[in-house]
């Protein structure tokens, strides 16, 4: 999505470097009702105990982004005509202002979200990717840390890569080149013509160490 710090060194509230939280579940279609209820319960908790924006402190954790997307898994992810596998993919993406916000988020979840106790089981049985604050924003489409405006029904695209440390420089350059192309050809926001420049409401790449226990950023790295 070039290096955002290099693109805008004077941004007062930069997006690059902010901590993120991501989860991906691959779930049998038969579990759709149960998993929908799990995530809708999480949404209700987030709406009651978090807030969007950079103002204030993190008694209510501050976020720039929060959504859960859902869709059928395709045999070839890059070709929707390839046919479905019979599994559903759920992807959750959250971007926080501070690491303390993530810590407070988990503390509040333990107190106020009944579904939180199911999370370890779901991660074990259905998790395909998860990181809880170990990854920070590396590249982006807009440098300023302003809330994203992704709404229900929006189409989403997610890619996750597990890369050896020896490939770090190569992969960083790959995503920074991707950032440069996106900045030249896409726009952030709802105004415009997708035939001229695709519109996005959320876009960044996050990078971080893989932890042996994703729910504990202080655990050892893999």
How would you write the pLDDT of the chain (222 residues) with one tens digit per residue?
Answer: 333 333 333 444 689 999 999 999 999 999 999 999 999 999 999 999 999 999 999 999 999 999 999 999 999 999 989 999 999 999 999 999 999 999 999 999 999 999 999 999 999 999 999 999 999 999 999 888 889 989 999 999 999 999 999 999 999 999 999 999 999 999 999 999 999 999 999 999 999 999 999 888 788 999
What is the spatial distance between Cα 95 and Cα 48, in angstroms, rounded to a whole number? 17
- Please give the full DSSP string across 160-195, using - where no structure is assigned: -----GGGHHHHHHHHHHHHHHHHHH-EESS-S-TT
End-to-end, the C-alpha distance of the chain in Å comes to: 27
Q: What is the predicted pLDDT for the residue at 215?
A: 83
Strands 187-188 and 199-200: parallel
Q: What is the predicted pLDDT for the residue at 144?
A: 87
What sign for the dihedral angle of Cα 137, 143, 144, 150?
A: negative
**Tokens representing 24?**
């991906």
Whole-prediction pTM: 0.90
What sign for the dihedral angle of Cα 170, 171, 173, 177?
A: positive
**Tokens representing 84?**
């479905």
């Amino acid at each position: 999505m070039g290096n955002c710090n290099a693109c805008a060194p004077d941004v007062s509230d930069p997006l690059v470097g902010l901590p993120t939280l991501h989860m991906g579940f691959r779930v049998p279609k038969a579990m759709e009702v149960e998993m929908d209820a799990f995530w809708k319960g999480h949404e209700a908790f987030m709406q009651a105990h978090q807030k969007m924006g950079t103002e204030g402190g993190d008694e209510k954790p501050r976020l720039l982004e929060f959504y859960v997307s859902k869709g059928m898994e395709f045999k070839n992810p890059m070709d929707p005509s390839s046919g479905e596998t019979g599994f559903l993919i759920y992807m959750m993406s959250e971007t926080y202002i501070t690491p303390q916000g993530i810590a407070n988020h988990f503390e509040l979840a333990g107190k106020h979200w009944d579904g939180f106790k199911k999370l370890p089981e779901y991660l074990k049985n259905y998790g395909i990717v998860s990181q809880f604050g170990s990854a920070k924003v590396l590249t982006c489409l807009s440098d300023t840390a302003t809330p994203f405006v992704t709404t229900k029904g929006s189409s989403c695209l997610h890619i996750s890569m597990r890369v050896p440390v020896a490939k770090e420089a190569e992969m960083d350059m790959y995503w920074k080149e991707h950032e440069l192309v996106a900045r030249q050809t896409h726009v952030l926001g709802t105004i415009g013509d997708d035939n001229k420049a695709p519109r996005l409401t959320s876009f960044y790449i996050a990078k971080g160490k893989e932890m042996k226990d994703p729910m504990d950023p202080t655990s050892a790295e893999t």
